[in-house]
Structure 1
Amino acid sequence: MGDVFSKKEEKSPTRNLTQGARNTNLRINKAISKSTPDLLEDQKPRRRKFVKIGNIKVSIIQGKIAEENADVIVNSVNSDLDLETGRGSKALVESGGDAIQKECRENYPGGITENEVAVTNGGNLKCRKVYHVTLPKWEDNNKQAITTAMTNCLTMADQYRVTSLAFPPFGSGYLNYPDDILTDTMLQSVVDFEQLFHSTSIESIVIVCHRTQNSVFRAFERKTRELSGTVSQGGSHSCKCGNINVIIQKGTITKQRCDVMVITASKDLKLRNGALSKSVLEAAGPDIQTACDNNYPSGVDYGDVAATRAYKLHCRFVYFGSLPDWKNTSDNPQQVLTDFITNCLEKAHSHDTKYIAFPTLGTGALKYPPDVMTKTMESCIRKFDLKHGDTKLQHIYIVVFDRSKDCMVVENALLKEFQVSRGLTLKMPSAPPPSVEPSAPPESPAPGTPAFFLWMYNYQDKPPSYWSIFGPAKSLKEWNSQTKREPYKLVKVTRQIETAVSKIVEETWIPKYVGKGRDGAGLEDLNYTKIQVTKVERIENTELFEKYVQMRGKLFHKAGVLETPFDQLGDLPSGVKKRKVFTTVKADKSVFTDVYPEINEHYLFHGTQEDRIPTIATQGFDIRLTDKAMFGAAVYASESSTKADQYADKKSERDKSKPKKMILLRMALGEIFVTETEKKFARPPCKSCEKDKCTDSTHNSSGHGSYDSVVVDGSWNFREFLAFDAAQCYPEYVITYQRV
């Protein structure tokens, strides 16, 4: 019997051993690949692309976001914040620990909406915080959801001085957003954000595509190549002019974030008459035109400056001015240009501002030669720097309108004059943006003067000085646009405020009226003669307070036009009691600050049942629910805590064992109409005919107009104060008390 091996096999006995080993290794590798595919993927080099958007470096990589080292990692999750449902969220929990999920459940038990950001600590991840956002599934071209999520994350990061963030590709995977849509929208959101917040703290953004997301990564590659030709060199050029940073910025001036925005307009300050001023009117809102009309009724002369507040713009002040046409040599346009730039810089210096933004003055329809504008600008800045070596004004932005046909010509003239080399982008100043450290408004005129009333109308947009959660370091507009949070905070007050509030409650209490009158029915049977305050809390709701401040501002404006404070209640001829507001008389003036009697602003009591407090704290008062009230649909308030106590519970459920609530509210009464008779008002009556439904237009045009509130001062036990616009009231303090 012969050998079982052939001769060929006989000569190479080791070949079969080697082949067997290879087959075994192949089977092992396949098994490993099927069970743990990422083990092999991790051995591949990470692919990376990047683009420079202004001063923000945006990198696109393939890898695992849970392994990124950044200040903030952003997570896309479902609305109930269940981190076990998505691959990305699950990976974050696996790497970061269960504490992230626990924090979501504890701090956001109701989940989040598409307009909110949930913030947790990073656990074991290589980050300080995790921002959680939720997106809807793709339908009907809803790319705005990505814009909202990106903008919310970037704005919050900038607010807290974050320098680096890592994002997933929003909308990929089961949400089914098209690759080109999500890449375009994410990167465009960064471009828009950088143009608006060019002094942002954010330096680096990484968008991390999973290694299985090849099509998304390729889409980002294409988009970065498109962007590299327009923004890779940065959107800004910076140089020094003496001690001042001059930043040449392409974009739209109305999107700039600064202390002062300089705008040219027609001499009559009718903002719709010029392209630039019209864009400001559209961005700031109609109130800015009203401010121009009221404060500068004759307009502005060439070279002079008209200053207003900024309203909806991202700055503190707007400086308006007018320039003559370049061909109008009789007005010496170059000298006017010099005067205007100098006046703007001097006013900004007097306002203690740090950031001012100029357009390329005169280079549009007025046809100023770009080299004349740039030489004049450079000369004025240098002279200003020599004159004011200690000025706080350290950053001057010159914004070249990027959609102008002469954009490149104007930009080149600026770069040449300020000796900035094309392609060389210097690091932008690292100072905090003006919203973190806002400039002070002009110094307040003397209280009680017409100038003071108009100053209050133009510049008072801060929370009260003693608020502790949403304090006056930011304007109400900044709080409401930058902060994602619950609608209000119920804050425990200081001992000093609690004592002062308790004192007003005690000293306005009138024992003999307990249980008296129709509204006090049932209280007399409880046999109590006083109440004892057990707790005082303050409602801090910036959205509600902003509405109140705007209404209060209208009353200041009215007083400014009349050029006199409103008559005080104790000085009015009508009424039975004819006395000052009792709560104001008893208030501790060292505690109850930021209150203005010139427009009849007072603290008053409002009684309500406890279950209605959260609604009032969130939405304010709703006069639609009071249409059956004795004197008409209005917010009712009293100067006596005894009157407020009558409404703390239902007449059929009176008791003194359970704690009760009342509100101490601010009410801006304005011009007061006093009535001694029972009458149902639809609104405060006309000052000419004293009819509440007056339709005679001549009464209003004659300057009389209407009263702003009604005080009922007849033969009843208590005076009642009626505001027919809920915005005239702010529910500031919630008082918990016991009947004893």
Structure 2
Amino acid sequence: MSDSSSTVYSVSSDSDLSTDEDTEENGVSRDYKSVNISVKEGALEKEEVDVIVNSTSDKLKLRHGRGSRALLEAAGNGLQTECDQKYPTGITKGDVAVTGPGNLRCKSACHGCLKKYGSNDAEKIHMEFISKCLKELDSQKLSSIAFPGLTTGFHKFPKNVASINACRAIAQYIDDNPNTSLKEVRFVIHPEDKETFKAFCDAVQTWDLSPNTEIERKVLCRFLINQITVLIKVDKIEEEEIDMIVNSVNKSLDLGKGSLSKAIATAAGSEVAEECRRDHPSGVSEGNVVVTSAGNLKCKKICHACIPPYNQNDKSVSKTDIQNIVIKCMEKADENQCNCVAFPAFGTLYKNYPAQITAGGMLKGVDQFSKSHTQSSVKRVIIVIYGDQHTGISKAFVDESATYRGACSGPERGTQEFCRQQYHRELHPPEYWTEFTSDKSVKLWKTECDKGYHKLVDVDSSTHKAVDKLVQSTWQSQKVGHGRDAQGLSELKYTSIKVLKVQRLENIDVYENYSHFRARLFHKAGDIGVFDQLASIPQSTGDIATTKSLKEDSVLTSELYHEINEHFLFHGTKPDTYKKILSQGLDFRMAGEKGMFGQGVYLAESSTKADQYTDDKLARSKAEKRMFLVRSCLGKIHLAKTANKLQRPPCFQTGCESDACEHSERQRCDSVVGDGSWIFREFVTYNHHQNYPEYLITYKRV
């Protein structure tokens, strides 16, 4: 559409870009190289185009979501049937499920599920999904495709971010594939979504392909400094929903100076700047702070801090300056009865503070405040880093936090004092979770969760390797087919297994129950003493095999507590039960009563043993199987040398050892380990919430 009436826009060195003079009321249209890109209002399901793109759930339940439901109603129920048949277990977020059109006026449909804004890699997955759809179009040698306003609804992307990223993804694909069959891209926006329509019109009309200035939000680490929880994250501080935000300002208290202060002032509104001028006409001296209201920010107060210049001649002076100003900010937070304070990385931009000096000074300030203000209202500190392309700020804070994440902060690991401290910790998801991130408490996640408490997430390559290594290191090929529960396996003539996929279960509901049980064990250990490790129990045959293999593997040992005998163990599961475990956890009440030690959840330290339970004895096969790698709180262990049908772990009081006595839970064991003359040891728990099935392993016998 590059006729003589078009206005030409240049992008980089390309001269292949033109735009029609259509107004936003009618949509916009432009050519990029040989491809026409347009925005229009309408119903996606009525479009006549080669490929229609649909955003739905990861289980491909097409009735989820307004747009997907409308598409299904127009296409007919056959579309859902095709999804169920071709993708019975659904798809991973960012992947494309391809179906026929049903009754739609297209030749093919691409379905996908994306991530919520703010989740790790959410923007990357959004752009890659668009590229995958275009690649599918090319593979079928088709020419036109229609997208909805992807990620602007349920996924809560800012509309300008969603639209600009979509344009960038399309332009990148066209650049990378000069021989593409693609000729036309349409963004079809529902008539009620006026803001989305305007954002896409602006994005196509402007066609800004410069690098994305949006940051990739992520949690870096979370740890305790005495009684205060510290969270370090990459995000925008002006968007924090907490009690107090700390702002870095100049001496004149001019909020329009400095990118951080300007961002906070813009988000807060003019009344905060007016309050500064009215109540603090002389500004604020270096090393001091003033507190104002928060305007439109999602906090109660803003603490404005003036950082002294960096002292190049004496770094220790500057580190102390940072430390002292952190203490002053936290004292102001305490005066205002604030529970949580968010800090920027002081001085790392305009004041030229080295990141290591800032990180060390800030964490030391939190440490000193927590020791001198033991009854303070401040319980959480968030350090928010905005981007990190050049300064290494993130690395500096993570490195410096190692001092506090180890035994140097608070009570020493392996002590009763440490267990008592852990009992009082606020409950957050693990740091490495990506769907339910650790920057929010479990309670807050459950309050905000609008659809489902559990997600199955593909792990990163390092975690996959660690789990695979654990499976292989505990595999005992010489024991394949041995034992009463291994019936039928020897006929398959296999000696090993191959891990195909590792997925992490992020089930906020099951994890909450598990964590409450874990807290009970911390309380118990804090009272009666840290529990003996299995290897130190008389007549034990040694350490747990999984734990021995993991001693050097920090990826899987994160947030694993030996003080309460928390270990990773395997659990084999049949095809008809693993989905129940994903949603409900491991429930001993669903187990049979024929177990060697009664009705309980039976776990294994050997992947060979777990493999025995992944299919029926009379229908063994080499088809794909599944087992879980389970996080289990064994607590105080009862070692059994002979089989005994128990209803619960026995009492550990001298002369008792009964499972039916009147002694309290604190006076009885928490698990049973069968360590006799059997082929494998048995690990048995008797509480519904004692185990968390963290990793689902899909594998084959080879």
| Larger-gyration structure (1/2) | 1
Classify the TM-score, shorter chain. Answer: 0.3 to 0.5
TM-score (norm 1): 0.46
